[in-house]
Amino acid sequence: MIPTAFDYVAPTSLEDALSALAEAGDDAKVLGGGQSLLPVLRLRLNAPEKIVDLSRIDSLRGISDDGDTIVIGAMTTHDEVARSELVREHAAVLAEAASTVADPQIRHRGTLGGALVHADPAGDLGAPVLALDAELVVVGAGGERRIPAGEFFQDLFETAVGEGELLTAIRIPKHTGWGGAYEKFVRVSHQWSIVAVAAVTRDGEAKVALTNMGSTPLRASAVESAIADGASVKDAAAKAAEGTNPPSDLNGDSDYRAHLATVLTRRALARAMGG
Amino acid sequence: MPRISVKVDGVTYSDDVEPRTLLVHYLRETLGKVGTVIGCDTSNCGACTVHLDGRSVKSCNVLAVQADGREVTTIEGLATNGRLHPMQQAFHDCHALQCGFCTPGMIMQAVDLVTENPNASEAEIREGMEGNLCRCTGYHNIVKAVQQGASATASAAGGEQS
């Protein structure tokens, strides 16, 4: 189908983008890479009056080294994240997760910032960003604020980005020398994760986050505490579903997802630890 | 309506387009480039794959206005001087199609894949083609064609250099 008619602007600066958004208010939608938004518009699940396309704002794209942190512009594509030497060295689990998003054509267009703000619970970028303790930089009329990943995801398709605000960058503390693994389970190639697990580890320490085990990405705190207390990978992974409320749908019911989370957590921890 | 200027298969076009026009509709209905086909409504099938600034994209998932100032290559732009591109020839030689509907997208994605990774293994080819669905062949001959197309492309490139 063809989307309903809308006005379109493609500002070339962040300031212009913020004023375009402020002007349009509720009726505007922000276009990142468009790989989730355009299907939604085509199916007429949403009919915004105005589209603000961020793809002509050069400052929102690219990956840079900022001391102890790497900074990824919100409009950087999944393909660029997956290939980046900086990301592979300092945040390997994010590069791996980005390389599993959908298919190559989608990864050439889809953006890290767009995927995070879309906040589909089955999306693959939330869990690694959460496991890596990233900060999300959001800019609005009132200036810039940095939101910890743990406070960014609020519910299904809902984030802490307020009206008139834009996610501009993702700041990731370097995890140089840490092991990382993203274990994802799908029944059909290039589909959304039924469940996936991001693990980042070093001696006696693990950070683990879950994809599609609730309405937002979740930290598997029980697994992390168990590893810190010296539990085996097998015993720690058995706690992966503790405190979660996974959805039931055509791909699997809640109990099945809870089981998958333990299996995938075991695999992710073992691989991240080099086993 | 915004006016866009896009280079498609080597020729620059300027047209007024409605912002909601998808790139694939612009290519087919405004430019008459019907070699690029529409196979689904969900961005799953990959039949509409073209290259945008040299990288493969699903043209049903890009607005025509987003292509303003950029360069598009479609299946119709691959052959040179009446000679099939090595990847097109490989799909022909290996009988990598039955109904042929997915073929334009398959070939465009295969060209992107082997440009990126000229020595792709069979597993890498299968994974690299995961965004393109074929409902006839079972994929085996498509994989063979991509392998043949990869070596033919590499030797063609080598020939040009020497």
Q: Which of A118, A142, A173 is the last residue of a domain?
A: A173
Interface test with B, best of A2, A105, A187 (most B CBs within 10 A): A105
Do A264 and A219 lie in a common domain?
yes
Do B65 and B103 lie in a common domain?
no
Do B13 and B40 lie in a common domain?
yes
E strand or H helix that includes residue B123: helix B122-128
Q: Which of residues 178-217 of A touch B (CB under 8 A)?
A: 189-190
Do B97 and B32 lie in a common domain?
no
Strand order through the sheet with A195-202: A179-185, A195-202, A205-211, A218-219
- Name residue, tokens 């097109």: B88
Is residue B143 very low, low, confident or very high in pLDDT (cuts 50, 70, 90)?
very high
How many beta carbons lie within 10 A of that of residue B35, not counting itself?
Answer: 18
Specify if A143 maps to a domain. Answer: yes
* Cβ within 8 Å of residue A193, ≥6 positions away: A122, A123, A124, A184, A185, A186, A211, A212
Is residue B153 very low, low, confident or very high in pLDDT (cuts 50, 70, 90)?
confident
Can you give the pLDDT of all 275 residues of chain A as single tens digits? 889 999 999 999 999 999 999 999 888 999 999 999 999 999 999 999 999 999 999 999 999 999 999 999 999 999 999 999 999 999 999 999 999 999 999 999 999 999 999 999 999 999 999 999 999 999 999 899 999 999 999 999 999 999 999 999 999 999 999 999 999 999 888 889 999 999 999 999 999 999 999 999 999 999 999 999 999 999 999 999 999 999 999 999 999 999 999 999 999 999 999 96
The DSSP bridge partners found for residue A209 are: A198, A219
Do A67 and A157 lie in a common domain?
yes
Nearest CB to B57: which of A7, A39, A105? A105
Specify if A1 maps to a domain. Answer: no
Chain B contact residues (CB < 8 Å to A): 2, 18-22, 25, 41-44, 46, 49, 52, 55-58, 60-63, 65-66, 68, 109, 112-113, 128, 130-132
Do B52 and B119 lie in a common domain?
no
Residue A234's φ and ψ, nearest 5 degrees, are -60, -45
Domain count, chain A: 3
Q: Are B110 and B131 in contact (CB under 8 A)?
A: no
Helices (H), chain B: 23-25, 86-93, 103-116, 122-128, 140-161
Do B49 and B91 lie in a common domain?
no
User: Chain B closest CA to A213's CA: distance in Å?
Assistant: 24
Please give the residue range of the domain that contains residue B55. 3-77
Can you give the pTM of this predicted structure? 0.96
Interface test with A, best of B66, B102, B117, B133 (most A CBs within 10 A): B66
Please give the residue range of the domain that contains residue A19. 7-53
Do A257 and A224 lie in a common domain?
yes
Burial of A247 (0-12, 13-18, 19+ CB in 10 A): middle
Q: Which of B49, B77, B105 is the last residue of a domain?
A: B77
**Parallel, antiparallel or unpaired: strands B3-8 and A28-31:** unpaired
Assess whether pLDDT exceeds 60 at residue B160: no
Q: Are A233 and A272 in contact (CB under 8 A)?
A: no
Q: Which of B43, B77, B111 is the last residue of a domain?
A: B77
Q: Find the distance separating the first CA and the last CA of chain A, reported in whole Å.
A: 49
Do A224 and A262 lie in a common domain?
yes
Question: Looking at residue A28, which CATH number applies to its domain?
Answer: 3.30.43.10
